[in-house]
Chain A
Amino acid sequence: MSTDALREITDREYQHGFVTDIEADTLPPGLSEDIVRKISALKHEPEFMLEWRLTALRHWLTMKEPTWQNVKYNPIDYQSIVYYSAPRQKKGPKSLDEVDPKLLETYEKLGIPLREREKLAGVAVDAVFDSVSVATTFRGKLAELGIIFCSFSEAVREHPELVKKYLGTVVPYTDNFFATLNSAVFSDGSFVYVPKGVRCPMELSTYFRINAANTGQFERTLIIADEGAYVSYLEGCTAPMRDENQLHAAVVELVALDNAEIKYSTVQNWYPGDKDGKGGIYNFVTKRGACRGRKSKISWTQIETGSAITWKYPSCILQGDDSVGEFYSVAVTNNRQQADTGTKMIHIGKNTKSTIVSKGISAGFGQNTYRGLVKINKGADGARNYSQCDSLLIGDKCGAHTFPYIEVLNSTAQMEHEASTSKIGEDQVFYFQQRGISSEDAVSMIVNGFCKAVFKELPMEFAVEAQKLLNVSLEGSVG
């Protein structure tokens, strides 16, 4: 099999690259106190929120963009970005019937017909289009259980006490350049609160979509699982194909109290740019969960196939004794995509456990970096970590890099670390072909086999979706 043929499979074009022609209310580009005030006013936010945003903005102005990551990109002009764009519609849709039909069409195209989801799938969906949350399905049913699932803006207005209590407690506004920027200008996102002892009976899901040109998306998600609560949450992301790069700087905070469990799954398919690396989303995201209570558990699963640049490290702070953190990741870089992703597991409580399974796949000219930190603090007696980082290379122009950091301050800790790098060889593909299996199917079978350990962590219906997405992302990489 020639390298040319290898290339073909990864060359399939992005499927979600359409633009919806819809009227939008958009603020002028640029970042200033004035813009922040306007965003806050447009959202009818209480005073505390505006103050928080302004404090973040002032802090951000003193910060420098980080340079330690293993990705290369042209400098971002933060003054040319539009920080707020909202589809124009009658004030606050009360039900799906009031949502602009064009928006609903967009979600249909993306494969998330809100109506049907509501009825059939039993998945509650919150859809965020550019900067605002458009519709949240299934709310009535969830409300009966005391579960709050709404847009972040709504939570700020209707549940300010919860927002005040938890916002910024996991990712403080000073945390890092991109998180601080988000704190100043975040537009919308999802908010979930699951009360004591309640097991959320369905998957909660958010779809993020960047539509307008030159627009950044800065969503902010906050999920709180009170004592003994359980929730499984999934987010999906797509964007139109555009020649210029668009910034996406989100923050996700999770809080799990005693005996609570949060499962957070991401299928990220932002526009990756074209074959030559033109356009694509810059995905600079801060995700962190605090296992605050005893025996609490937070599990991150991510399938990262999109974006020109991915920079994210979904992490767990294991404060509560016997708490558990997990990170399962598949990151694909094809063509000119670059990913620097991994996790941080901070062990503070006693007998805390963490598991890291990272699968990086590089094809084309893709560069894939795993960066992880496992830190066992002094008081974390009996802490345990298991890490596995595997890289798969397709073709000979791509790269895989691994930076695992381990800091152990307690001698009772048990650490295990496994790593491997392999390459899909032409002889492997030929073996499949000789048995009648096409080279495309061969690559997909090998890749899926490679990712099995992560896919099995995804909710059933999304595992199938993820598998398909992966095949599409890699089409053209082997032949």
Chain B
Amino acid sequence: MLEIKNLHANVGGNEILKGLDLTVNTGEVHAIMGPNGSGKSTLAHVLAGRPGYEVTQGTVLYKGQDLLAMAPEERAREGVFLAFQYPVEIPGVSNVYFLKAAMNALRKHRGQPELDAFDFLNLVKEKSKIVDIDDSLVKRPVNEGFSGGEKKRNEIFQMAILDPQLAILDETDSGLDIDALRIVSNGVNQLRSPNRAMVLVTHYQRLLNYIQPDFVHVLVEGRIVKSGGKELALELEQKGYAWLEGAPA
């Protein structure tokens, strides 16, 4: 599904990713861990095509296609979803209107007819249960005045509606209290599927208590320095990142 080879990327002239390799297959859940500044979020943004992130070397194949050649909205229409660490507020545009526009952009791309209002609202109703999102939040402007936890829940709710093939979750656990963390993780677990790959970017091991990954990778200074199973996360929890810093890639 996703094949990253020797990826180098700059942000504001500084090289952040320095030769990253990663392969993710359909149905797998990968966790990318690493200390602050190691390039975790940069990886997430490069994959989503955020402007300002300049790829200088390497290739990324997604479903066999050159992902880096695609515009951000094309990537989304092809099934790449990024759950943002800091979801932005969009005053004046209601969540439900926004999602309907997104949904229909995806459907149009797939050659499907637009969903009518009735079917769409049924879908919203069904999916809002996944993260226990309140009806009033669905109708309010996108993220405007939402608490930190509500924003993160809204991201997972959007993911549930848009049903992506590759979901990248950028620090989805940051800023969540324990109850919110449980709700969000529970939502993510419900969305695990043999047809979907997930990449979780996280600083802390605690998210992985709730969402058990198939693979854990440690990112240090722009490269993956160690990969393993979920037990690697526990080892990191005990030893910290320091023992891996300076390790050869």
A450 contacts across to B, CB distance below 8 A: 91-92
Partner of A1 from B51, B87, B88, B94 at Cβ < 8 Å: B51
What is the distance, in angstroms, from B21's C-beta to the closest C-beta of chain A?
Answer: 24
- Chain A residues, Cβ within 8 Å of B106: 436
Residue of chain A at shortest CB distance from B107: A436
Q: How far is the CA of A427 from the CA of B98 in the complex (A)?
A: 15
B50 at the interface (CB under 8 A from A): yes
Q: Is the CB of B162 within 8 A of A431?
A: no
How distant is the Cα of A435 from the Cα of B97 in the complex, in angstroms? 12
* Chain B contact patch, size range: 20 to 34
Residues of chain A contacted by B82 (CB below 8 angstroms): 434
Q: B105–A434 contact, CB under 8 A?
A: no
Q: Is the CB of A433 within 8 A of B90?
A: no
Given contacts A1-B51, A426-B51, A430-B50, contact A435 B92 (CB under 8 A): no
In the assembled complex, which residues on chain A have CB atoms less than 8 Å from the CB atom of B76? 433-436
What is the bound-complex CA distance between A425 and B48, given in angstroms?
17
Minimal Cβ-Cβ distance residue in A for B92 = A449
Taking CB atoms, residues of chain B closer than 8 Å to A118 are none
- 8 Å CB interface, B214-229 against A: none
Asked if A35 lies at the interface with its beta carbon under 8 angstroms from chain B, I say: no
The segment from A133-141, A180-188, A199-207, A437-445 that touches chain B is A437-445
**A2 x B51 contact (CB < 8 A):** yes
> Which of A427, A431, A445, A448: most chain B Cβ within 10 A?
A431
A397 at the interface (CB under 8 A from B): no
The answer to the question of B72 belonging to the interface, with a C-beta cut-off of 8 Å to chain A, is: yes
Q: Which chain B positions have C-beta within 8 A of A27?
A: none
Question: Which one of A433, A435, A446 lies within 8 Å of B71 (CB-CB)?
Answer: A433
Question: When the two chains form their complex, are residues A437 and B88 in contact, meaning their CB atoms are under 8 A apart?
Answer: no
Most B C-beta atoms less than 10 A away, residue of A437, A445, A450: A437
Q: Does B128 contact A (CB under 8 A)?
A: no
**Judging by beta carbons under 8 Å apart, are A435 and B88 in contact?**
no
Q: Tell me the residues in window 68-91 of chain B with beta carbons closer than 8 Å to chain A beta carbons.
A: 71-73, 75-77, 81-82, 84, 87-88, 90-91
- Residue of B with least CB distance to A453: B92
The answer to whether B105 and A436 have CB atoms under 8 Å apart is yes
A422 to B75, CA, bound (A): 28
CB pair A438–B73 under 8 Å, yes or no, is yes
- A452 at the A/B interface (Cβ < 8 Å)? yes
The CA of A440 and the CA of B191, in the complex, are separated in Å by: 31
User: B102: which of A1, A422, A437 is its contact (CB, 8 Å)?
Assistant: A437
A residues 412-428 near B (Cβ < 8 Å) are 422, 425-428
Alpha-carbon distance A425/B84, docked complex (angstroms): 16
Q: Could you tell me if A433 and B88 are in contact, using CB atoms closer than 8 angstroms? A: no
Query: Is the CB–CB distance between A434 and B48 below 8 Å?
Result: yes
Say yes or no: A427 contacts B88, CB within 8 Å: yes
Contact (Cβ within 8 A) B92 A431: no
Contact B91 A449 (CB under 8 A): yes
Contact between chains at A436 and B93 (CB < 8 Å): no
- Nearest chain-A residue to B71 (Cβ)? A433
Q: Is the CB of A445 within 8 A of B98?
A: yes
Which has the most chain A C-beta neighbours within 10 Å: B50, B73, B82, B106? B73
Which single member of B72, B75, B92, B99 contacts A446 (CB below 8 Å)? B92
B73's nearest neighbour on chain A, judged by CB, is A433
| Extra inter-chain contacts (7) besides given A433-B76, A436-B76, A449-B92, CB under 8 Å | A2-B51, A425-B88, A431-B142, A434-B75, A435-B76, A435-B99, A438-B105
Enumerate 19 A-B pairs (CB-CB under 8 Å) in ascending A order.
Answer: A428-B88, A431-B84, A431-B90, A432-B98, A434-B81, A434-B82, A435-B158, A436-B73, A436-B76, A436-B102, A436-B106, A436-B109, A438-B105, A441-B105, A445-B98, A445-B101, A446-B90, A449-B93, A450-B92
Q: Which residues of A contact B (CB under 8 A)?
A: 1-2, 422, 425-428, 430-439, 441, 445-446, 448-450, 452
